[in-house]
Every structure is written in C-alpha cells, then in structure tokens.
Structure 1
Amino acid sequence: MKTAGIILAGGQSRRMNGSDKALLPFGTGRLIDHIHQRLARQLPVLALNTNNDPAHFRDLGIPIIPDEIAGYAGPLAGILAGMEWASTQSDGFSHILTVATDTPFFPDNLCEKLSQQIADAPDRIVIASSAERIHPVFGIWPISSRGELRAWLADDENRRVMSWIAAHPHKSFEFPLTTTQTDQPIDPFFNINTQEDILEAQKRWTPST
C-alpha cells in the first residue's frame, strides 16, 4: 500500500465572503503554506485540489488539480480528483490521504494512525474523529473505488461525504485533544470558517504548531 496526500481547498468559502481561505495570512505565511508544510512532514508526494486560480499556488511546487465534476460538488469531488490524479502517477499509489485546508492543527501522526487501520483491510475507508465527532474529509481512501465514486457523483443528489462512507466498509480513529502552552485543550481538527475563527487560530499558533 502506498499513499499520496491531497489537500482539499476546492470550496467556495461562503462564510468568508467568498475569500479563498487557503490564502489567509497564518503564522509566517499563508494558511495553505502551513497546511502544506504540516502534511509534507508525513508524506513525500502531495497535490492540491482547488477550483481557484492555480497561479496563487504555484510556489508550493506541487501539482494543482481542479474538480472534474462541475459546479462545486463538495469534498467528494475533490476526493475523486485526488484519486484520479494519483492513479495516473508512476509511484503505484493505492490510497490517498485527504486533509482540509482550513484545519491548521491536524495531528502530525494523522497518516501513521489512519494507515494502521487499513493494514488488514486495504479496501476500508478510514476517517478521523476527535471529541466523539467525525471529521469525514480527514481520511484515507482506496483509489480502486474511483470509478464507483465517479458514477455516484453523476447524481446531483449524491454530495454528502458521510453517505458515501456509510455505503462502504469504513472505520474511524479517535485522536485525543491536544493542549496549549497554558494547558488549555485544543481540538486538533479545529477548523476556520469565519473571521473570528482565523483570529482564534492565529492566537493558538506557535512556531511548533
């Protein structure tokens, strides 16, 4: 089994007035820079799924892949785009690991822990959870299901990630809360949806996170 990392940044950011969350200032750069660096510590081969201007992301030095399904069909379209891209690579990928671009503190051992859950069942979908809450776009997906997913998305009613997951063998892995330097608990899947969220995330950021 071999896994490629896919950063999902294909959404419309409606609650951010349409601004691309990936380009928000964060830490010493942009939010996408932080996400890219965090995932690159876990996997050597990455790609970015976005439907916005690829020129904004060329400095990352990774492939930029748009959705193949028109009309902002949601995270499943990005997952499919990642599967299709990975299937064309010469590395022999069997799976993709997806992360969201608006979740800057996702675990440094995300790939390791989720990969352990497919060691005995490579056709299984494995997704992350924390505080007993599922985070369905943080998962490992078998590339072999891309044809079925493409057909599934041909129906405009099939857009919910959890509906796709529920129809297939799957498992979740619970990640613990982490703590700040002041011993305050943080959900590692804290995500940014509003201007208030980005301010909160910037407060929590340190060079070690």
Structure 2
Amino acid sequence: AHLLSAPGDTPFLPADLLTRLEAARSRTGAEIAVAASDARTHHAVALWPVALREDLRRALVEEDERKVSAFIARYANVIVEWPAEPYDPFFNVNRPEDLARAEAIARAESRS
C-alpha cells in the first residue's frame, strides 16, 4: 500500500501525477517516487510506501528530523520530472500575488 502526499496550496497538480509516480517507482524499484519540475524537486509531492510510517514517526519524534528531503534521502527514490510550461503544475499559492496568478491560470485553463 502507498500514500500520495501533496501540499494543500498546490492547486494545479497534474492529472497523471499518481500514474507517473507509480510507474517510475515500479520501473526502478525505488521505495519513494518524488515529483520535480523546472529543475526543482518537490519533496512534499511524493508516493510513499505506508510501511515507512514507523520510520517516519521515529525520524520526527526521536530524531527531530524536519526536512522531508533528508528523510527521503534515506531510501531508494526516483525523481519524476514534469514540464513547467505553460505553468508549473507544482506552483504553490503563498501570497496575494500568487493567488492572482493562480486565478489567471485557472481562467486560462477553463478556456482551453
């Protein structure tokens, strides 16, 4: 069993996210598949084996590890790249200007 994680402030996740992450994980034998775009790895957007839950708990509680990237680096992982054009599908909304940009993207998408 696996769990797909993604931040709540990322409104344009690709429709093929789960399919491509699972395909890459299966093809390579990696434990974790992680999304990337525009030469940036998005560690919070990943497909994880549920079997790692105790390791994650230990890392958070006992080791005080707070970097998702550091936890992922402990395991075999594969990076799956998405194009960042016409917009980055992992663009996140943190500020008012990000929200304005997201609204413009959504309007453009609804027209296509």
2:9 equivalent to 1:98: no
Report the equivalent of 1:195.
96
Structure 1 stretches lacking a partner, 5+ long? 1-93, 180-185
2:78 equivalent to 1:177: no
Letter in 2 for 1:150: R
TM-aligned CA deviation for residue 96 of structure 1: 0.5
Cα separation, 1, equivalents of 2:48 and 2:84 = 24
Letter in 2 for 1:130: S
TM-aligned CA deviation for residue 140 of structure 1: 0.1
- Structure 1 or 2, whichever has the larger Rg, is 1
Report the equivalent of 1:141.
48
Q: How many residues align?
A: 109
- Structure 1 residue ranges (4+ consecutive) displaced by more than 6 angstroms after TM superposition: none
Structure 2 stretches lacking a partner, 5+ long? none
Q: Which one of the candidate residues 118, 129, 144 is aligned to 2:36? A: 129
Relative distance call for 1:95 and 1:187 in structure 2 (3 A) is: same
Report the equivalent of 1:110.
17
TM-score, normalised on structure 2? Answer: 0.88
Report the equivalent of 1:205.
106
TM-score, normalised on structure 1? Answer: 0.49
Paired residues for 1:7-26 under 5 Å: none
Report the equivalent of 1:153.
60
% identity of equivalent residues: 32
Alpha carbon RMSD of aligned pairs, Å?
1.7
TM-aligned CA deviation for residue 153 of structure 1: 1.0
Letter in 1 for 2:83: P
